[in-house]
Chains A and B, each alone.
Chain A
Amino acid sequence: MAPSSWFGRRDPVGGYFGAFGGRFVPETLVAPIQALEAEYLKARCDPQFVAELQRLLEHYVGRETPLWDARRLSAACGGGRILLKREDLTHTGAHKINNALGQALLAQRMGKRRIVAETGAGQHGVASATACALLGLECVVYMGTEDMHRQALNVFRMRLLGATVVGVDSGSCTLKDAINEAMRDWVARPDDTHYLLGSALGPHPYPLMVREFQSVIGREARRQCLAQVGRLPDAVIACVGGGSNAIGIFDAFIDDANVVLIGVEAGGEAIRSGRHAARFAGGAAGVLQGTRTYVLQDEHGNIEATHSVSAGLDYAAVGPEHAYLQETGRAEYPYATDAEALDAFQQLARLEGIIPALESAHAIAYVLKSARRFGPDTVLLVNVSGRGDKDVQTVEQILTEADRVAN
């Protein structure tokens, strides 16, 4: 496949998606980020780079991933026909590996021997540690101490893979604070270090680059859907933390005006300050961590605490392209609560024998809630961004506690 059909569609103009995006970084990072952008724009047109990435995606990640016709889930929803894109079956168990390998190859191309990454749920940390092990790069992962606690299994996995995991106990001790710390690290060592950002966030070119590395999800799903069903889906549904799995599956359908794009945010306990992570329900435009986008903030511009049962969605800002898709009306962004996601987590396990990540369970929860909106003859494509192995302990604790309270 020619590189040009892979990459380079819909580049942001001057780093902006409409009014969102940009490059709001400390001076020290401007030059390294400009160099990164220049190298990325070269790499994506280099057939050798694209072929190497393709080889890894096929033989190492295990792509393409299946598109599963979820009949029992469809029957239970009483809506349309539900197709599950199985990113949970990738090597390391989440879509994060698609981007981690792409950026790690780019780092190698730039002669950078050291990778820093942030992680929330630990999936991006595991994916980065994996890519670094494969390519022989040094890997340092910053992770909030709250997240290290709730995703302990992934901390151990990263260490097994040879990464150094550094706990971050500033602020809310979650993903946002891990990103701050990764940026501080990069500011100190821009020459030998690449910052492997894990979502479609941050300063330009990250939102573009991460989207393009993740766009393989939507390209495959679109082709598979046409082959299996004979037509495009009526809606594409994905959970949105920073927004990488969502933009990755949306990308192939952006120009199909009749396909509804739905990104599901984390409603947490309720849409109350500090108790959720639904940026479009409770946020306002602002600048955080290098980009202008929707941010949960107080009236003086300080970033609000967030909450979600899923560490990967527990973040105060959303990728700038999603802010743009929301503003232009091309995509919509409802939310699912903790309770709905926990219910969906269990339902998908029982109905289809698939235990999803708690993040992905938010997308399933939306479908369980809203499939009827689309009617019986519709086709709904849902991204199962990751598997739930990392979450079983957390869910067990929550359910045991709920049982105890109920009795």
Chain B
Amino acid sequence: MSRISERFKALRARHETGLVTYITAGDPDLERTAGIMKRLDKAGADVIELGVPFSDPLADGPVIQRATERALAAGTTLPKVLAMLAGIRADISAPVVIFSYANPILRMGLDRFVEGARQAGVDGVLTLDMPPEEGEAFRSAFTGAGIETIFLLSPTTTVERIRKASELGSGFLYGISRLGVTGVRDTVDDSARELAERVKAETAMPLALGFGLSRPEHVKAVGQWADAAVVGSALVKVIAEHGQAPGLLDEVERYVRWLRN
């Protein structure tokens, strides 16, 4: 069984809400990303999503846009992200999912990327602008290397396409809990529950719900309907606030432990 599936199975067995954490690789630089990942793991993150910075992040709001700009300015590239991960993979028990736009992967070359990802111990890949209809070449290359293909679902996704994503995807499904780009919100939208109910009616595959979550009560709320909550922009904001400070790693760990409360 894959690391991702094992993790979700264990969560279900313990009736616990999982925590999926997103960070932008290379913000503030790759060395500190490596340190952040170890702390996320230590603080109990169930899945670590590692965002590949791309010049034109059209599905992202201002928080991740700025993180992306910092990461690119620090010279972050997809091959360097994979090399960093390869160096620390043995120290991290949580599954790692690469979160990218299509173009950096295409430019690296699908085969080269898959080989690099396999060697770095990547467990899954989510390509933001590659819906199932376009994603067959990616999916079959990933599957061949034992890497899971994670698909997104949104409040606009039809039942027919929920089925397609659950048939073609593996590991877990990532439900976008509300319309719009990534970013921090104060409350959990009703659309989160509606989506979760529609997904659960179609498939038993684990579901992580995210977009806008930032507080322990959000994680708890989402746990009523889904296997895990995704926290992205809020964590990226913590990293932005403490990026240059010596206390960065402690702050990250403290924030994630607080979320799990």
Interaction A to B: yes
Q: Nearest-CB distance from B75 to chain A (Å)?
A: 10
Q: Mark A347-358 against chain B: 1 for CB-CB distance below 8 A, else 0.
A: 000000000000
Q: Nearest-CB distance from A392 to chain B (Å)?
A: 32
Q: Mark A35-75 against chain B: 1 for CB-CB distance below 8 A, else 0.
A: 00000000000000000000000000000000000000000
Query: Across the interface, do B107 and A297 meet the contact criterion of CB distance under 8 Å?
Result: yes
Q: How large is the interface on A (under 10, 10 to 19, 20 to 34, 35 or more residues)?
A: 35 or more
Query: Across the interface, do A30 and B56 meet the contact criterion of CB distance under 8 Å?
Result: no
> Which B-chain residue is minimally distant from A29 (CB atoms)?
B156
Q: B157 interface residue, CB < 8 Å from A?
A: yes
Query: Across the interface, do B134 and A28 meet the contact criterion of CB distance under 8 Å?
Result: no
Q: How large is the interface on B (under 10, 10 to 19, 20 to 34, 35 or more residues)?
A: 35 or more
Give the A-B pair count, Cβ closer than 8 A.
Answer: 108
Q: B176 interface residue, CB < 8 Å from A?
A: yes
Using A27-B154, A301-B78 as known contacts, say yes or no to A286 and B134 having CB atoms under 8 A apart: no
Query: Across the interface, do A187 and B56 meet the contact criterion of CB distance under 8 Å?
Result: no
Q: Which of A179, A289, A301 meets B104, CB within 8 Å? A: A301
Query: Across the interface, do B107 and A27 meet the contact criterion of CB distance under 8 Å?
Result: no
Q: B152 interface residue, CB < 8 Å from A?
A: yes
Q: Nearest-CB distance from A282 to chain B (Å)?
A: 15
Task: Give CA–CA (A297, B105) in the complex, Å.
Answer: 13
Q: Mark B135-157 against chain A: 1 for CB-CB distance below 8 A, else 0.
A: 00000000000000001111111
Query: Across the interface, do B181 and A287 meet the contact criterion of CB distance under 8 Å?
Result: no
Q: Nearest-CB distance from A286 to chain B (Å)?
A: 5
Query: Across the interface, do A299 and B128 meet the contact criterion of CB distance under 8 Å?
Result: no
Using A23-B133, A28-B156 as known contacts, say yes or no to A301 and B181 having CB atoms under 8 A apart: no
Query: Across the interface, do B106 and A189 meet the contact criterion of CB distance under 8 Å?
Result: no
Query: Across the interface, do B179 and A301 meet the contact criterion of CB distance under 8 Å?
Result: no
Task: Give CA–CA (A27, B130) in the complex, Å.
Answer: 8
19 A-B pairs, CB-CB below 8 angstroms?
Answer: A24-B129, A25-B131, A26-B59, A27-B131, A31-B157, A32-B156, A184-B61, A187-B179, A190-B179, A285-B106, A287-B101, A287-B103, A287-B106, A297-B103, A300-B108, A301-B54, A301-B104, A302-B55, A303-B103
| B residues in contact (CB < 8 Å) with A | 54-59, 61, 65, 72, 77-79, 101-108, 128-131, 133-134, 151-158, 161, 176, 179-181
